A and B are shown apart, each in its own frame.
Chain A
């Protein structure tokens, strides 16, 4: 499936650069958010707090 996706994007890069640009940005967002969610879950299991920080103005 990954190989098919790579082949498809390579072809898209040659045939339709606008679609390739959208696919590039979309892929980055989806992969980034996906990994972030997994890491967030790991942080939660480890007990790392992610609440608001108090700023000293």
Chain B
């Protein structure tokens, strides 16, 4: 079995690498979705894994630096980052952190730092979480569920935006103007809390951007991550200077977090703003409960730590706090032995402190796993829905109006494309678009020639021009058409050897509608209809339509796939005549299609079975039978290797030497 345990050379501990990666992944998903660094979840969890607290914070900061760059870049792509607002907030936040840290120093002097910070933290988490939950419930009752936009601006945000002290800053991305001083003020406020609590502050800034500034939820998420990117990098740098970053652990966490952040960020695209707020509220409340556990843990610590320190000082001879802490960490076993010899109250406090601290860590770890699972479900559901919507839109467009796009340069080399396109367009399309793509320039004479070819067939095409990379332009302009006709120049040996192929191959691979790749022949007299079992009715119908339009014969071919290693050459025995007896079921299906075609008025229909490598047999049959057109359904990848070797239909379209190939898509 693979050993997942990783030795961390800086802190000198051993942890499970898989658990670290999983933790990074889950918090990455949550961070990308909510626009937070997630330190309040990671630090206690790392502590549970055995990290000393300082290393837990430093390592967490380092992984946040890497993860937030990924998430911010993605949010920027979605248009969720208000750069102007983010930069101004950073200025305010930096000032606020200094203020907060100064207050902390003063509290430390008077010895009240621990409880005050924890209580403030709890109050903040619970009040914010409850308010957001209340707001969600109020909104759900008052509005239709179908509402996709954010809720109206909070009252406080409207008041803030009403402050007209110049200079006014126009926030184009957020969609309003606001005074510079308001932004700086909110930045100072959130920065103060961040510095006071000693946390990353994403969970404060995100709601502040929504409720105090008035940004829509998704922009608040993206803009907050922009700030987290800077604070994370600064934190990582600062902790690394103090030698408190476990770089190996941070990289392992980042491996998971960078993937998770992409998923979380993309999930915001599929979630309503209010749903993001709801889950954020739940996260806040769970974090609040975790801080209560931590508080209980610290209370127990206060009972036994003075006695423990006294003993440690006497035993080790150290008086410095940091040195003492390190000595205690190294001599864990001696500490345990000392505890066992102590009165019950000390023993109980020691074990309860450890227990509450573990509960806090496990709660955060469990919450992170559950929340990320919910967000991933959003992502998967949204992605599947998006795909279905695109498909429905395409089908709807094709049903309303059959649009055929013929992509050709109108140069003499593309004459077969236009000739074949014009021949089948008359019966197969309501609207014909002649798309001319040229990287260098378009020749007017060729366009006139192209128009003339279509007019001879009684078609008036709509001429469209495209400049740029031909395959990209063709894919863009032909989106939604029910048939695309393109040319295919012969491949040079280099292109044949390498997988990338020519423009036609790239288009066939990426196009969602059916695509006809025209080779050197443009008259259709014989059609080779390749049938896979179970067969696609759409493929048969398209072959039928083309045969009717061009008065062509059809041969139905089914190739029984036999891998190379099993195919035997039998030159002394021709078994082709015996195949129909071996494959009676398949022959039944093929004869059924034959009857259907004959019934539709196609004059000559024959049926054939072959055995071997499918692409090879189809191309051999097309050459031997002198076919002009191969009609084939686009199938799934046959094996995982298909991802690299390409689809069967694409390979036939690429390698057919003379016959044109129609790849029928679903």
How far, in whole Å, are A49 and B390 apart by their CA atoms in the complex?
Answer: 11
Interface residues of A in 10-25 (CB under 8 A from B): 10, 13-14, 17-18, 20-25
B233 within 8 A of A: yes
Contact B66–A56 (Cβ < 8 Å): no
Chain A residue, CB-CB nearest to B512: A47
**A55 interface neighbour in B70, B175, B241, Cβ under 8 Å:** B175
Contact B262–A43 (Cβ < 8 Å): yes
Contact A17–B240 (Cβ < 8 Å): yes
How far, in whole Å, are A53 and B79 apart by their CA atoms in the complex?
Answer: 6
How far, in whole Å, are A13 and B242 apart by their CA atoms in the complex?
Answer: 9
Collect the chain B residues with CB atoms within 8 Å of residue A40's CB: 262
Collect the chain B residues with CB atoms within 8 Å of residue A49's CB: 386
How far, in whole Å, are A20 and B236 apart by their CA atoms in the complex?
Answer: 11
Q: Tell me how far the C-beta of A51 lies from the nearest C-beta in chain B, rounded to whole angstroms.
A: 8
Contact B79–A55 (Cβ < 8 Å): yes
Type the 1/0 row for A19-56, where 1 means its CB is closer than 8 Å to any CB of B: 01111110111011101100110010011111111011
Contact (A21, B383) CB under 8 Å given A31-B255, A39-B258, A53-B80:
no
Chain A residue, CB-CB nearest to B247: A9
Contact B259–A53 (Cβ < 8 Å): no
Most buried by A among B80, B240, B250, B254: B240
Q: Tell me how far the C-beta of B61 lies from the nearest C-beta in chain A, rounded to whole angstroms.
A: 9
Contact B266–A28 (Cβ < 8 Å): no
Chain A residue, CB-CB nearest to B148: A56
Collect the chain B residues with CB atoms within 8 Å of residue A56's CB: 148-150, 216
Categorize the interface residue count of chain A: 35 or more
Q: Tell me how far the C-beta of B115 lies from the nearest C-beta in chain A, rounded to whole angstroms.
A: 33
Q: Tell me how far the C-beta of B37 lies from the nearest C-beta in chain A, rounded to whole angstroms.
A: 13
Q: Tell me how far the C-beta of A7 lies from the nearest C-beta in chain B, rounded to whole angstroms.
A: 8
Contact B65–A29 (Cβ < 8 Å): yes
B237 within 8 A of A: yes
Collect the chain B residues with CB atoms within 8 Å of residue A1's CB: none
How far, in whole Å, are A14 and B247 apart by their CA atoms in the complex?
Answer: 13
Contact (A24, B62) CB under 8 Å given A9-B247, A17-B241:
yes
Interface residues of B in 254-305 (CB under 8 A from A): 254-255, 258-259, 261-262, 266, 269
Contact B78–A13 (Cβ < 8 Å): no
Collect the chain A residues with CB atoms within 8 Å of residue B216's CB: 55-57
Collect the chain A residues with CB atoms within 8 Å of residue B386's CB: 48-49
Contact A24–B250 (Cβ < 8 Å): yes
Contact (A35, B258) CB under 8 Å given A24-B247, A43-B266:
yes
Contact A55–B218 (Cβ < 8 Å): yes
Contact B65–A25 (Cβ < 8 Å): yes
Collect the chain A residues with CB atoms within 8 Å of residue B74's CB: 36, 50
Collect the chain A residues with CB atoms within 8 Å of residue B65's CB: 25, 28-29, 32
Collect the chain B residues with CB atoms within 8 Å of residue A25's CB: 62, 65, 233, 236-237, 240
Contact A31–B240 (Cβ < 8 Å): no
How far, in whole Å, are A40 and B69 apart by their CA atoms in the complex?
Answer: 14
Collect the chain B residues with CB atoms within 8 Å of residue A48's CB: 266, 383, 386
**A29 interface neighbour in B66, B78, B262, Cβ under 8 Å:** B66
Collect the chain A residues with CB atoms within 8 Å of residue B248's CB: 6
**A28 interface neighbour in B79, B175, B236, Cβ under 8 Å:** B236
Q: Tell me how far the C-beta of A11 lies from the nearest C-beta in chain B, rounded to whole angstroms.
A: 10
Contact B78–A50 (Cβ < 8 Å): yes
How far, in whole Å, are A36 and B237 apart by their CA atoms in the complex?
Answer: 22
Collect the chain A residues with CB atoms within 8 Å of residue B218's CB: 53, 55
Chain A residue, CB-CB nearest to B58: A24
Q: Tell me how far the C-beta of B224 lies from the nearest C-beta in chain A, rounded to whole angstroms.
A: 16
Contact (A35, B255) CB under 8 Å given A17-B240, A28-B63, A28-B66:
yes
Chain B residue, CB-CB nearest to A50: B77
Collect the chain A residues with CB atoms within 8 Å of residue B77's CB: 50-52
Q: Tell me how far the C-beta of A12 lies from the nearest C-beta in chain B, rounded to whole angstroms.
A: 9
B645 within 8 A of A: no
Chain B residue, CB-CB nearest to A17: B241
Q: Tell me how far the C-beta of B247 lies from the nearest C-beta in chain A, rounded to whole angstroms.
A: 5
Could you list which residues of chain B lie within 8 angstroms of chain A, going by C-beta atoms? 9-10, 62-63, 65-67, 69-70, 73-74, 77-80, 148-150, 173-176, 216, 218-219, 233, 236-238, 240-243, 245, 247-248, 250-251, 254-255, 258-259, 261-262, 266, 269, 383, 386-387
| Top 3 A-B residue pairs of the complex, sorted by shortest distance between their CB atoms | A56-B149, A32-B66, A28-B66
Given contacts A13-B240, A27-B251, A28-B236, 16 further A-B contacts (CB under 8 A): A17-B241, A21-B240, A23-B247, A24-B240, A25-B65, A25-B237, A27-B250, A29-B65, A31-B255, A36-B69, A36-B74, A39-B258, A48-B386, A50-B77, A51-B78, A57-B175
Q: List 29 A-B contacts (CB under 8 A).
A: A10-B9, A17-B242, A17-B243, A20-B243, A21-B236, A21-B240, A22-B237, A24-B237, A24-B240, A27-B251, A28-B62, A28-B69, A28-B251, A28-B254, A32-B254, A36-B69, A36-B73, A36-B258, A48-B383, A49-B386, A50-B78, A53-B80, A53-B218, A55-B79, A56-B149, A56-B150, A57-B174, A57-B175, A57-B176
